[in-house]
Amino acid sequence: MNCPWCDFGGGPRALHAHLGERHGEMVRTTEHLGRTFYAIICPRCGDRYEHAVRKGSRDPGFMAEFEREIRLVALDMLVNHLMAEHEGHQQQQQRTGDPSDAPGQ
């Protein structure tokens, strides 16, 4: 699997670790309606994944203490999305050599 932001390549676990170390800032947290949310946008297709932080979202210290873990959860969602939506299409295209196998074709 290839990193969507740089030239790193590796398996899903290695990619997840790389994303956490090098691209954690791509995960955004926002607050609205009295709740805290984390979100990640796929740089390949623009799909946005957003979820509410369930525990401790009203405790300001919680976000500071668990920011890294929250980012890793969001990046895990991105890795799963990349595997399901992009890697499979890419592998199919490589096997057939048919550009019409690419997403959106």
Instruction: Specify if 90 maps to a domain.
Output: no
Instruction: Specify if 16 maps to a domain.
Output: yes
Instruction: Specify if 95 maps to a domain.
Output: no
* 31 pLDDT higher than 90: no
Greater confidence (39 vs 97) lies with 39
Q: Give the domain range for residue 39.
A: 12-85
Q: What distances in angstroms separate CA 47 from CA 7, 10, 41, one per listed residue?
A: 21, 22, 6
Question: DSSP secondary-structure letter at 9?
Answer: B
pLDDT of residue 92: 46
Instruction: Specify if 23 maps to a domain.
Output: yes
Cα torsion through 76, 81, 86, 91, rounded to 10: 70
**pTM given for the model:** 0.78
pLDDT of residue 90: 53
Domains in the chain: how many in total? Answer: 1
Instruction: Specify if 97 maps to a domain.
Output: no
Greater confidence (63 vs 43) lies with 43
Q: How far apart are CA 88 and CA 102, in angstroms?
A: 10
pLDDT of residue 10: 94
What are the tens digits of pLDDT across the range 47-103?
999 999 887 666 778 888 899 999 999 999 999 999 999 986 555 444 445 444 444
Nearest by Cα to 67 from 14, 20, 16, 3? 20
* 32 pLDDT higher than 90: no
